[in-house]
Amino acid sequence: MVSLLIADDHPLYRDALKGALVTTFNDLQLYEAGDLTSTVSLLYEHDIDLLLLDLHMPGSNDLFGLLHIRKLYPDLPVAVVSGTEDPATISKIVAVGALGFIPKTASSSDIANAVQAILEGDIWLPASVSNTMEPVDNEFSELADKVSSLTPSQYKVLCYMRDGLLNKQIGYNLDIAEATVKAHVTAIFRKLGINNRTQAVLLASQLELEPPASAHG
């Protein structure tokens, strides 16, 4: 029995992935999640052989979802599924531990081949990008490791800091007290080894973090 978790917030694409997989694997257990919180819950509840992770589902916000899950489950094979096919982004994804990158434009046969290869312990990348991968420096790897120690709430605060919001504005957007925001900021500084908001903004920009959706908009 092969146990897979499809984590993507688009039901139609989850259905497309399932269609590509059920025709290839006879003995398959499929689970589905639409955001980072439910993904982590399912990983805790079930013994998953492979996670197919969308970079842009709620809570994931680009690389954070991958970093967070890799921190919680370092032995779990993860393949990123995304509409983004930028070689620099894919290089970062592999550098922080993903075993594959499956474009959302991939054919059913490519999806099945990718999953089979990753389950066997190989790294799978589309042929169109495998020769254009860019090396990732140690500074990025160290930064990614630090960011992976943030909680999802701390990560959201970091994103809003990157966008120049004040603590009061961040509290409003996340529907939390300003004192709670201050506590998150203190924890972020400590975990990232920095002393001020300017440094936080620079680090967040290096990771090309995407701001989360506002709780009030």
Q: Which pLDDT tens digit goes with each residue over 11-22?
A: 988 998 888 888
- In three-state secondary structure terms, 202 is helix
Q: Which pLDDT tens digit goes with each residue over 39-48?
A: 999 999 999 9
Q: Say whether pLDDT at 120 is over 80.
A: yes
Whether the Cβ atoms of residue 137 and residue 96 lie closer than 8 Å to each other: no
Q: Say whether pLDDT at 117 is over 90.
A: yes
Place of tokens 């694997």: 25
Chain-centre distance for alpha carbon 189: 22
pLDDT score of 169: 96
Question: Apex CA 119: angle with CA 32 and CA 78, to 5°?
Answer: 50
Between residues 108 and 167, the one the model is more confident about: 167
Query: What mean pLDDT is predicted for residues 123-144?
Result: 79
Q: Please name the amino acid found at residue 149.
A: S
| Structure token digits, residue 196 | 């001020």
Beta strands in the chain (DSSP E): 2-7, 28-33, 50-54, 78-82, 100-103
Taken in order of first residue, the domains within the chain and their CATH numbers are 2-130 (3.40.50.2300), 150-206 (1.10.10.10)
